[in-house]
Copies of this chain bind each other. A is one copy, B any other.
Amino acid sequence: MNDIFFMKEAIKQAKNGVGFVNPNPLVGSIIVKNSKIIGTGYHKKFGNSHAEINALKQAGKKSENATIYITLEPCFHHGKTPPCVDVIISAGIKRCVIASKDPNPKVNGKSIKKLRENGVEVDVSVCKEEAKEINKPFFKFIRTKLPFVYLKLGITLDGKIATASYNSKWITNTSARHHSHQLRSKYMSLLVGANTIIKDNPSLTCRIKGKNNPYRIILDGNLKIPKTSKVLKNNEDKKTIIITSKDNKKKSINYNANFIFLKGKKFSFKEILVALGKLNIDSILVEGGNKIISQAFKENIIDEGDIIVAPKIIGDSKAVSFVSGFSTNLIKDSIYLKNLEIKKIGNNVCFHFKKS
């Protein structure tokens, strides 16, 4: 079926925006006339023009009587740009094929209705699941105002993320580590605990050329990370955010970072997600360490994740386990990774799982 072929092209277009549009959705669009693609476009960057506008521009006057494929229902509302639905109508588009309705309450079917009222033939739900798959953070965030949570972990066969002396370079292989940087380019923020900063002093940047760095979220109830930490010293992009206790407001003045202040010193993931959602952060990549990972499993807030296992054994009970703090008596009560996909990455194995 041609519709599926062209929609898949539109989805490919959408993916070009990965990492640059959050918390907006990834959107791609294709304009087709007499079975030929006469325009392509995608949403390139947060605040820039929308996918369908870029495609219409490319097609120009030929858009008249053409079919437009869009991975998401066009917008109905004045946001950073004028409503796309009006532009489509005035371009003389004959048929509009949409992969998924926009769950944003400001849209949510209104554009589809308007298109039909203006004589545009509309088909919805072509490649719907695929289109939703690429926008999982958006779909969660628009509905719940809570960021999508992705866990990324590299462990040894004995379930460790570091030796007793906190050495962790490197557990996984080069390809697996490249995969981690791809994830950093994809999700809007990266969350680690204060211990990770203190022990490893990581940069928490994305080392893939041309890709955006994620926001660096440091969970540090006691505000104990050193001011010389790389995440503070190299904070030119102002993307370092420390989550700490309200009691540290005064102390925080001397830190080169943005702050989120919460009550108490130990925070639940629930309150962290609410706070980050308020900053319009639509997604979090959780990278560790033990405390944060364990809490994430306890609160069952992980939407999707990769646990990558390397064929190494540390064999030391004092080495750092990726998870602890449970008291499981029976194997049947252990945590089961759901919707599993297993993928070899060279001599490492990725256990990919999804909550739903």
Among A324, A340, A344, A353, max chain B CB count under 10 A is at A324
7 pairs, A vs B, C-beta closer than 8 Å: A156-B159, A157-B337, A157-B351, A163-B329, A163-B334, A315-B328, A316-B325
Is A335 among interface residues, defined by CB-CB distance under 8 A? yes
Given A159-B159, A342-B344, A323:B313 Cβ within 8 A: yes
Contact of A342 among B316, B323, B331, B349 (CB under 8 A): B349
Is A164 among interface residues, defined by CB-CB distance under 8 A? yes
Is A327 among interface residues, defined by CB-CB distance under 8 A? yes
Q: Is the CB of A315 within 8 A of B329?
A: no
Encode A321-354 as 1/0 by CB contact (under 8 A) with B: 1111111111100111100101010010101010
Give the distance in Å from the alpha carbon of A316 to the alpha carbon of B327 in the complex.
5
Encode A145-164 as 1/0 by CB contact (under 8 A) with B: 00000000001111110111
Chain A contact surface mostly: loop
Q: Which of A64-72, A257-265, A304-312 lines the interface with chain B?
A: A304-312
A344 and chain B: residue at smallest CB distance: B342
- Tell me how many chains of this kind the complex includes: 2
Sort A-B residue pairs by CB-CB distance and give the 7 closest, nearest first. A315-B326, A159-B159, A158-B159, A311-B337, A313-B335, A312-B334, A317-B324
For A323, list chain B residues within 8 Å (CB).
158, 313, 315
For A170, list chain B residues within 8 Å (CB).
331
Is A167 among interface residues, defined by CB-CB distance under 8 A? yes
New A-B pairs, 11, CB < 8 Å, besides A155-B157, A159-B321, A309-B309: A156-B159, A163-B328, A163-B330, A164-B329, A171-B331, A297-B315, A312-B337, A314-B334, A316-B324, A316-B325, A316-B326
Is A169 among interface residues, defined by CB-CB distance under 8 A? yes
For A294, list chain B residues within 8 Å (CB).
315
Is A319 among interface residues, defined by CB-CB distance under 8 A? yes
